[in-house]
C-alpha cells in the first residue's frame, strides 16, 4: 500500500517484462503519484460559504485577492461587445481552424444523441425511458497558459448538442486579461454567458448563484486543486464531471514504426505539464533505444522543453516486451487516458484492451489529431480512471426519466409480490398502497 516516489534520474524509467523483478517494478510504477494533492478542502469550504452568503460582493473581493482584477469596475459578466472585439482581434487562420474543428466535433457528437423509448412487456406492463437535457450548465475554463480554446469546444459542443438551454462559462482574468481565442471558441460553440471569475469562487457562484450569475444544475471543465476541491464540495447540490488529473499517453509500437514519430507523440504529451506521463511499450529493443535518442534530439528544439524534459525524466517510461501480445494486459492495468497503437495488428491489440479513454489506431493517427480535429472528445479519464469512467460526451449533459404504467390487470399480476416484499421489509404503507387498490 506504499506509493512509489517520482524517479530520481533524468532519463525515463526502463522496464523489461523478462526481468525477474518486472512484476514488482511495474506495480510500483502503477502506484507512482504524479500530483501533490494539496489539502485545500478547508480553504475551499470557506470560499464557498463566502460566495454563498455574500454573492457578487464576495466574487469581487476574492477576484481582487486572487486575480488582481477589479470586477466592480470591469463587470463580472463579459459583454457581447467584448466577445465580438475578441473574435475580431483573433487571427483569422486560427479562427478558421477552430471552425473546422467545431464542425467535426459537432458532427461526431450528434451521433451520440440517445433515443427515448417505450415498450410493453409480456405481462402488459408498459416500461420506458425519456432522455432530456440538463437545463443549465456551468463550464469552467482555466486562465493563464492552460486556457485552451480547443477545450472550450470539447466541453461546450456536447452540451449544446444535448440541448442545454443555458451554458454559462467562467474563466479567470488574471490582471484583467482574457485569452481572445477562448472567447472566440465560446462564441463559435454557442456559449450563452461568459463571466470573468475563476477558482473555487467561480464554482460556488455557479452552484449557488449570485446576483449576477444564476445557478446551474451541472458544472464541467478542468481546473487547479482549488477548482477540483470546490467541485467535490458542491457535488450533490449540482452535478459535476470527473475530477481531472494530469494527462498521459501510452504508445504501443512494433519494430516497424518510425522512432521520430513516436518521440514526437511522447513529447506532445510531456509538454502539457511536468506531471504528464508518456509511456512506450514495444517488443523491439532497437526501436526503444531509437525513440529515447529521438526524444533527446527533439527536446533540444522544443519551446516547452523544460516542462517536457522534466515530465519525461520523472514520469516517462519505456517498457520492453518479449512480444506485443503482452501489451493488452499491461495496458489494461495502466488504463491510459490516451492509447496509440502503431503496429501491424493494431486492431487485434485494441480489441483486447478494455480500459482506455481513447484509442488512436495506426501510425497516421497521432493523439494531437484527436486533441483538435478528429471529432471525438479530448476530455478523457486520467490517472487510471478509465477503469470506471468515460470521456465527456452528450450523455453527460442529459438525464433519463424512467416511465412505468400498469393497468388494473397488471397490478393484479404484480401486486402480490410487491405486497410480500413491502411486508418483508417492514414497509407496511408500501404494501398497503398496492393492497388498497386490489381490495385486499
Q: Does 135 bind a second copy (CB under 8 A)?
A: yes
SS3 266: helix
Question: Burial, 161: exposed, middle or buried (Cβ in 10 Å; 0-12, 13-18, 19+)?
Answer: buried
Nearer to a second copy, 68 or 400 (CB): 400
Task: Please confirm, yes or no, whether 338 is among the known catalytic residues.
Answer: yes
Q: Smallest distance, Å, CB 182 to a second copy?
A: 10
For the chain, the C-alpha Rg in angstroms (whole number) is 25
Say which residues have a Cβ less than 8 Å from residue 290's Cβ, sequence separation at least 6: 259
What gap in Å lies between CA 32 and CA 122, rounded to an integer?
53
CA 141 – CA 171 distance, rounded (Å): 5
Query: Binders of a second copy among 229-248, rule CB under 8 A?
Result: 232, 235-236, 238-239, 242-243, 245
Closer residue to a second copy (CB): 18 or 412: 412
23 binds a second copy, rule: CB under 8 A: no
What residue ranges in 257-302 does DSSP mark as E strands?
277-282
360 near a second copy (CB under 8 A): yes
Answer yes or no: are the C-beta atoms of 128 and 403 closer than 8 Å.
yes
Q: State the minimum distance, in angstroms, from the CB of residue 16 to a second copy.
A: 26
Binding mask 271-310 for a second copy (x = CB under 8 A): xx-------------------------x---xxx---x--
Q: Indicate which single residue of 34, 196, 310, 355 sits in contact with a second copy (rule: CB under 8 A).
A: 355
Q: Is 337 a catalytic residue?
A: yes
Residue identified by cell 451521433 is 111
CB of 19 to a second copy, least distance (A): 25
By the rule CB under 8 A, 134 interacts with a second copy: yes
The CB-of-359 to a second copy minimum distance in angstroms stands at: 5
β 136-140/398-405 pair status: unpaired
Cα–Cα dist 200/224, whole Å = 9
- If the CB atoms of residues 80 and 135 are measured against a second copy, the closer one turns out to be 135
CA atoms within 13 A on the CB side of 266: 35
Is residue 112 annotated as involved in ligand binding?
no
272 is in an annotated binding site: yes
Per CB under 8 A, contacts with a second copy among 395-424 are 395, 399-408, 410-411, 414-418, 420-422, 424
Judge whether 142 and 244 are in contact, CB under 8 Å: no
* Contact pattern for a second copy over residues 208 through 227, marking x by CB under 8 A: xx-------xx---------
Give exposure, 14-38, as e/b (b: 16+ Cβ within 10 Å): ebbbeeeebeebbebbeebebeeee
Q: Based on the shown chain and the rule CB under 8 A, indicate whether residue 120 belongs to the binding site for a second copy.
A: no
Of the candidate spans 18-26, 64-72, 194-202, 346-354, the one that interacts with a second copy by CB under 8 A turns out to be 346-354
**Angle of helix 199-208 relative to helix 41-67, nearest 10 degrees?**
110
Which grid coordinates are listed for 238?
A: 449540482
Beta-carbon contacts of residue 111 (< 8 Å; ≥ 6 apart): none
Task: Figure out which of the listed residues 12, 149, 199, 328 binds a second copy, where binding follows CB under 8 A.
Answer: 149
Distance CA 140, CA 199 (A): 9
Site string for a second copy, 370-389 (x = CB under 8 A): xxxxxxxx--xx-x-xxxxx
Of the candidate residues 79, 107, 110, 345, the single one contacting a second copy (CB under 8 A): 107
What cell was used for 312? 519525461
User: Residue 275 CB, nearest distance to a second copy (Å)?
Assistant: 15
Task: Dig out the grid coordinates for 104 from the structure.
Answer: 467535426
- Residue 269 assigned as binding residue: yes
Nearer to a second copy, 74 or 414 (CB): 414
Segment contacting a second copy by CB under 8 A, of 58-66, 72-80, 190-198, 256-264: 256-264
> Binding site membership for NAD(+): which residues?
140, 201, 224
Active site residues: 337-338
Amino acid at each position: 500500500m506504499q506509493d512509489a516516489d517520482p524517479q530520481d534520474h533524468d532519463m525515463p524509467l526502463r522496464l523489461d517484462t523478462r526481468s525477474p523483478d518486472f512484476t514488482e517494478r511495474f506495480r510500483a510504477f502503477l502506484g507512482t503519484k504524479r500530483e501533490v494533492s494539496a489539502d485545500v478542502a478547508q480553504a475551499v469550504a470557506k470560499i464557498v460559504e463566502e460566495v454563498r452568503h455574500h454573492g457578487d460582493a464576495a466574487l469581487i473581493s476574492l477576484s481582487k485577492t486572487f486575480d488582481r482584477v477589479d470586477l466592480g469596475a470591469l463587470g463580472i459578466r463579459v459583454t457581447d461587445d467584448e466577445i465580438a472585439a475578441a473574435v475580431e482581434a483573433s487571427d483569422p487562420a486560427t479562427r478558421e481552424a477552430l471552425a473546422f474543428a467545431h464542425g467535426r466535433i459537432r458532427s461526431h457528437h450528434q451521433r451520440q444523441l440517445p433515443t427515448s423509448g417505450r415498450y410493453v412487456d409480456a405481462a402488459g406492463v408498459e416500461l420506458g425511458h425519456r432522455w432530456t437535457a440538463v437545463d443549465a450548465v456551468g463550464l469552467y475554463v482555466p486562465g493563464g497558459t492552460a486556457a485552451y480554446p480547443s477545450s472550450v469546444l470539447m466541453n461546450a459542443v456536447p452540451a449544446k448538442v444535448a440541448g442545454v438551454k443555458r451554458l454559462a462559462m467562467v474563466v479567470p482574468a488574471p490582471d484583467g486579461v482574457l485569452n481572445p481565442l477562448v472567447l472566440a471558441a465560446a462564441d463559435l460553440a454557442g456559449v450563452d454567458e461568459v463571466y470573468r471569475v475563476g477558482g473555487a469562487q467561480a464554482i460556488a457562484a455557479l452552484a449557488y448563484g449570485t446576483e449576477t450569475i444564476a445557478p446551474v444544475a451541472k458544472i464541467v471543465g478542468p481546473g487547479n486543486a482549488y477548482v477540483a476541491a470546490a467541485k467535490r464540495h458542491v457535488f450533490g447540490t449540482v452535478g459535476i464531471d470527473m475530477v481531472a488529473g494530469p494527462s498521459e499517453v501510452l504508445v504501443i509500437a512494433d519494430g516497424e514504426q518510425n522512432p521520430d514519430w513516436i518521440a514526437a507523440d511522447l513529447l506532445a504529451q510531456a509538454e502539457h505539464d511536468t506531471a504528464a506521463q508518456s509511456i512506450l511499450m514495444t517488443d523491439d529493443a532497437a526501436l526503444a533505444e531509437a525513440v529515447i535518442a529521438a526524444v533527446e534530439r527533439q527536446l533540444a528544439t522544443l519551446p516547452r522543453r523544460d516542462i517536457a524534459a522534466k515530465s519525461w525524466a520523472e514520469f516517462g517510461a519505456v517498457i520492453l516486451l518479449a512480444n506485443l501480445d503482452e501489451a493488452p494486459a499491461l495496458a489494461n492495468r495502466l488504463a491510459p487516458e490516451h492509447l496509440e497503437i502503431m503496429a501491424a495488428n493494431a486492431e487485434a491489440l485494441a480489441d483486447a484492451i478494455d480500459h482506455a479513454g481513447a484509442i488512436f489506431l495506426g501510425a497516421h493517427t497521432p493523439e494531437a489529431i484527436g486533441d483538435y480535429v478528429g471529432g471525438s472528445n479530448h476530455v478523457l479519464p486520467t490517472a487510471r480512471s478509465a477503469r470506471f469512467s468515460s470521456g465527456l460526451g452528450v450523455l453527460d449533459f442529459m438525464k433519463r426519466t424512467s416511465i412505468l404504467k400498469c393497468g388494473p390487470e397488471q397490478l393484479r399480476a404484480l401486486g402480490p409480490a410487491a405486497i410480500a416484499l413491502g411486508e418483508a421489509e417492514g414497509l407496511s404503507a408500501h404494501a398497503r398502497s398496492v393492497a388498497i387498490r386490489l381490495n385486499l
